[in-house]
Amino acid sequence: MAITLTVNGNAHSLDVEPEMPLLWALRETLGLTGTKFGCGISACGACTVHLDGRAVRSCTLPISAADGKQVITIEGLAQDGRLHQVQQAWIAHQVPQCGYCQSGMIMAVAGLLAQIPHPTDDEIDAGLTNVCRCGTFARVRAAIHQVAGAEGTAS
Amino acid sequence: MRKWTRRAFVGAGTIAGGGFLLGVAGFTFAPGRHSLVSADAGAKGQLTTWITITPDNIVTILIPHCEMGQGTPTALAMMAAEELEADWSLVRVQEAPALDAYANGYIIRTAGGNYVPAVLGRGVDYGAYKLAEWFGFQVTGGSTAVRSTGEYGMRVAGAAAKEMLLTAAALQWGVGAAECTAKGSTVTHAASGRSATFGALAHSAAAQKVPTSPALKNPDRFTIRRTSPARLDIPSKVDGSAKYAIDFTTPGMLYAALEIAPVYGGTLISVDTAPAEAMPGVKKVVKLKEAVAVVADSFWRARRALAALKPEFSDAGHGEVSTASIFDAFDKALGAPPEMPKDSAKVVTADYRAPFLAHATMSPMVCTAKVEADRAEVWTGVQDPLNARSVAAKALGISAENVQLTNFLLGGGFGRGLPFNFDYVDLGVRVAKAMSPIPVKTIWTRENDIQHDYYRGAALSRHAGALDANGTPLAAQSNYTGGGNGEAVFMPYAIAGKIAKEKKAAHPIRLGQWRSVLNSQHGFFKESFIDEMAHAAGKDPFEFRRGLLGDQPRFKAALEKAAALSNWGTPLPKGEGRGIAICESFGTIVSEVVHVAVSPEGRLKVLHVYAAVDCGDVVNLDSATAQVEGGIIFALSAALLSEITIAQGRVVEKNFRDYPMIHIADAPKVTTAFIRSDAQYGGLGEPGVPPLAPALVNAIFAATGIRVRELPIKKTPLKTA
């Protein structure tokens, strides 16, 4: 049974087992390797993507759960060649070190800001549980506040 | 292939397209002994560091180190570009391939005892690094890139290239080279108003004599160094385009999942392969000496099929080993605490305990290989591509020259990817050999990674200290197990009887280097103990240390800076406290103050960490700061939460649920200040780590009166109500 889903605006019909995690379909079937494998148990968030606009951890999400839905990965976060403002803030604050967790971190933050455009520090703490072994958290927080602040002045 | 010898050499030549190529050996302790090399030097592998200038005026710098998040390539390129007077926006970097030519001999030289910069004297016996064995490796480790490759290679290469460009311009214009200046990738003759870009001059510059000892810039004329240009690798790390080993793919590639003997040294006794072979997508079950692998057309299918197997492994005779048995042996080996002078007014004793730790790099280990008869291609992520290539060759029984290794970005290193830690390359190529000539990507699960690491060693340290009636320390001595070296146990304090002795207590747990190596345990031991002595003396822990640093001005300045940053001594609310510590590692002195709050119920919150860092000088200020911030978080996560437990000879923890890491909610504010001293450059990747754990437990003591002597801190109840 084929699974149909839209990834970064492109429709796909995939002939894979319905229980295959979305992560591996993205990486190995569709070649979208920006989404990373970190733990396989939804503990670290390196595999975070957006499913119908909400941040989800794709390493344990069966692809059947994405059937008929819209998936956005790190490769699809930029719009019309313009980096998403979270990505821009990441560059401005020089957030990544090794970078391996950052696709997931950026997707989680973009998802958080879509839900809570102006998060307090407590809301950031509660809403962001991605692991970063290089310890970029202080810059992540500063970058989030920059995006939230910029949105605040724009609206 | 040329072997790396003490002879340093510089060479230049043209490359296809009219570019200019300049190389310089990793460092030039014997700058007078150089030789020109031919235009195809690169192809011959004779150059260690390269600067290439092409007619489009782009300067490309080849970096013989890997990028694992420290910003090393950017910093090294800055050092070359500074001397070259290049326009930073026209500079590019490229990682050097895994060839003998790029071997960076510096850490080896350090161990060999010859040509050791004086500042590194204390670190010469880096112990577990086994540096003497590293001859011919291409290592990124030991926090050495900037202070070795940068200072002795990149600067000289940049300065030599600049002189050659000036000479070429002067000849072209019929003026003296001294009348020409280089700036912003352009050479200018002010008197005549003529100028030419580096790109336009590159071809004729390559024909000029290579200066043997080009003049280096005075640091007060630096325009690129000490600033914070954006790191060159970051754009690719925000849009998913950065390539790590796990991202590599090649046509026809299959995937493998592994189960490795749970007890290190154990071997595969038997496995019924049928259940896996019957599953979709499975191509083969590969039996290896110490593991079983399932190869399939997707990693998920391989892993699912592996779960259907029930392999039986031997325990190598270590089935009785446990954390408790190891620490019992440590305890017996240590015996009684060191004896203190008879006339002491007060004697302080304490035992400190540090656990085994895993690296848990964000990227699990990955190795892709394609094996054909007597040759192989390998794609992986390592801190030493040359040694990894040798490991692959040895595993396959072929010559290293027949192994082509491509290194990818590392998803964290922390020591996991250092030489002697390449089991993932070894296993990966053996799996691929069984599928020859089909390329196979072997991906470790997080469970593989946590359970089959080269662990930071557990250690027990037994201390005794003596004070006279005025609270002046008379002695501070320790016996320790778990390894140590001169740098790790060094205490800068003016105490007459300072002795640290190693006691041996062997165990079969596989060990490796973990960010800051032995300093990670000994920093905790020695800086906790001096704090206990301060309290026993009834003195403020900062003032007590400061009073003992009269003849150590760099330590004293760093300590004072950290205290000042943190407003040390100003009142705090009940339940809050500050702790201080100071350690030197890899030539860098770091003092940290940790500010904590502990609720009456024992909930610990780390509010702020202040770090004063004397690494001589910084290259890229922002990425230097990031290294200190990162080191602090890495150390904090370990100090609060991390322990690898051994039971029945095997590792108990499996994944981030039982080997957890801190999240953003637990991350304190970090304030970092650099001290520009006269000292030579120290490292930065690691030195932020060692002072964190002691400063933290010292802060907890200040807040609660509870002395934590065992890591991780979560094992000690902090309830005060």
Q: Do A91 and A72 have their domain in common?
A: no
Residues A54 and A25 in one domain: yes
- Domains of chain B (ranges plus CATH)? 10-222 (3.30.365.10), 245-316+365-443 (3.30.365.10), 523-715 (3.30.365.10)
What residue of A is the nearest CA neighbor of B448? A39
* A50 and A24 assigned to the same domain: yes
Contacts of residue B68 in chain A, CB cutoff 8 Å?
A: 98
Residue with tokens 């001169």: B486
Q: Which residue of A has its CA nearest to B515?
A: A134
Name the residue facing A34 among B69, B240, B623 (closest C-beta). B240
Which residues on B lie below 8 Å from A126 (Cβ)?
A: 665
A146 and A123 in a single domain? The answer is yes
Query: Last residue of some domain: A55, A76, A97?
Result: A76
Q: Which residues contact B625 (CB under 8 A, 6 or more apart)?
A: B672, B674
Q: How far is B509 from chain A (nearest CA, A)?
A: 23
Helix (H, G, I), strand (E, B) or coil at B418: coil
H-type alpha helices, B610-712: 621-641, 692-704
Q: For an interface test with B, which of A17, A42, A98 has the most B Cβ atoms less than 10 Å from its Cβ? A: A98
The pLDDT of residue B16 is 44
Cβ pair A126:B665 closer than 8 A: yes
User: Are residues A127 and A96 both part of a single domain?
Assistant: yes
B64 Cβ neighbours under 8 A, 6+ residues apart: B26, B48, B49, B96, B102, B103, B104, B138, B149
Which tokens go with B306?
């592996």
Confidence (pLDDT) at B350 = 98
Q: Mind telling me how many Å the CA of A99 is from chain B's nearest CA?
A: 5
Same domain, A111 and A65: no
Residue window 60-119, chain A: list those with CB within 8 Å of chain B.
73-75, 77-78, 83, 87, 90-91, 94-103, 106
Give residue B121's pLDDT.
Answer: 27
Would you say the pTM of this structure is higher than 0.95?
Answer: no
CA distance B57 to B74: 19
Residue B138: CB atoms within 10 Å? 29
Q: Are B705 and B615 in contact (CB under 8 A)?
A: no
Residues B334/B350, Cβ–Cβ less than 8 Å: no
Residues of A in contact with B228 (CB under 8 A): 94
Residue A141: give its domain's CATH number: 1.10.150.120
List chain B residues with CB under 8 Å of A106.
238
Q: Taking CB atoms and an 8 Å limit, are A90 and B446 in contact across chains?
A: no
Q: What pLDDT is stored for residue B7 in this prediction?
A: 25
Q: Which amino acid type is present at position B549?
A: L
Those of residues 56-85 in B touching chain A at CB distance below 8 A are 68-71
Residues 6+ apart with CB under 8 A from A28: B255, B298, B299, B300
User: Are A17 and A58 part of one and the same domain?
Assistant: yes
Statement to judge: residues A90 and A55 lie in one domain: no
- The single residue listed with the structure tokens 């009269």 is B550
Q: Which residue positions in chain A have pLDDT lower than 50? A: 152-155
Cβ(A88)–Cβ(A81) below 8 Å = no
- The tokens describing B94, both together, are 């490229």
> Among residues A76, A97, A119, which one ends one of the domains?
A76
Among B244, B363, B630, whose Cβ lies nearest the Cβ of A135? B630
Give me the residues of chain B with pLDDT under 50, please.
Answer: 1-18, 23-49, 99-138
Window 9-48 of A, Cβ < 8 Å to B: 17, 20-21, 24, 28-29, 31-41, 43-44, 46
Adjacency order of strands within the sheet including B194-197: B180-183, B186-189, B194-197
Q: Do residues A42 and A102 both lie within one domain?
A: no
- Domain boundary pick from A76, A103, A135: A76
Whether B613 contacts B628, CB under 8 Å: yes
CB contact under 8 A, A33 and B247: yes
CA neighbor of A62 nearest in space, from B300, B348, B75, B211: B300
Interface probe, candidates B74, B231, B239, B379, chain A, greatest A C-beta count within 10 A: B239
Residue B64 CA: distances (Å) to CA of A107, B101, B148, B575: 33, 9, 11, 49
Residue among B551, B632, B549, B548 nearest B590 (CA): B632
Whether residues A96 and A71 share a domain: the answer is no
CB-closest option in B255, B412, B660 to A100:
B412
CA-to-CA separations, B449 to B383, B651, B656, in angstroms, rounded: 17, 11, 11
Answer whether B412 sits within 8 Å of A98, measured CB to CB. yes
Q: What is the pLDDT of residue B160?
A: 82
Closest of B582, B583, B602 to residue B721, by C-alpha: B602
CA angle B560–B566–B569, rounded 5-degree value: 80
CB contact under 8 A, A34 and B241: yes
List beta partners, residue B425: none
Q: Are residues A72 and A106 in the same domain?
A: no
A74 chain-B contacts, CB cut-off 8 A: 239-240
Cα–Cα nearest to B449, from B362, B366, B365, B384: B365
Three-state DSSP class for residue B286: strand
Q: B616-643 burial string, b = 16+ CB within 10 Å, else e?
A: bbbbbbbbbbbbbbbbbbbbbbbbbbbb
**Residue B438 main-chain phi, psi, to 5 deg:** -75, 130
Interaxial angle between packed helices A102-115 and A85-92, expressed in degrees from 0 to 180 and rounded to the nearest 10: 130
Q: Which residues of chain A have a CB within 8 Å of the CB of B368?
A: none
Instruction: Please indicate whether, in this complex, the C-beta atoms of A94 and B623 are within 8 angstroms of each other.
Output: yes
Domain count, chain A: 2
In terms of residue numbers, what domain contains A142?
85-154
**pLDDT tens-digit readout, B164-220:** 899 999 999 999 999 999 999 999 999 999 999 998 988 888 777 777 678 889 999
What's the rounded Cα separation, in Å, for the pair B714 and B709?
Answer: 11
H or E segment and range at residue B74: helix B72-84
Instruction: Round to whole Å and give the CA distance between B9 and B242.
Output: 34
Tell me, what CATH number does A46's domain have? 3.10.20.30
Token pair belonging to B636: 């904090």
Is the same domain home to A63 and A96? no
The string over B303-334, giving b where at least 16 C-beta atoms fall within 10 Å of a residue's C-beta and e elsewhere, is bbbbebbebebebbebeebbbeebbebbeebb
The residue behind tokens 């637990």 is B666
- B254-260 and B440-443 beta bridge pairing: parallel
